[in-house]
Amino acid sequence: MLCLSEVLIQEFALEGFEDLEQLIKQRAKGEIHFSMDVKPPFSDTPADWENRLEAAFTVANKV
């Protein structure tokens, strides 16, 4: 299971939401479940952040 909180702890140097979105696409490969257990702490985090991260996770696993 890929947990958003663990990703944020491990990749503390991320500079914004778009970087996180790309990282989720990379880290999602081979994962079955994605837990969005925290809100990303970036100032550019959009209101629809959950939908965007879920889409990034899903797209990565369809390829």
* Domain of 29, in residue numbers: 2-62
d(CA 46, CA 38): 14
Backbone angles phi, psi at 40, to 5 degrees: -60, 140
Task: State how many domains the chain has.
Answer: 1
d(CA 11, CA 58): 20
Residue 63 pLDDT level (bands cut at 50, 70, 90): low
Helix (H, G, I), strand (E, B) or coil at 35: strand
Q: Does the pLDDT of residue 61 top 90, yes or no?
A: no
Overall average pLDDT of the 40-55 stretch? 97
Quote the pLDDT of residue 42: 97
Quote the pLDDT of residue 32: 92
**DSSP-derived secondary structure letter, 45:** -
Quote the pLDDT of residue 43: 97
- Helix axes of 17-27 and 49-62: crossing angle, nearest 10 degrees: 30
Q: What is the pLDDT of residues 13-41, one digit of tens each?
A: 999 999 999 999 999 988 999 999 999 99
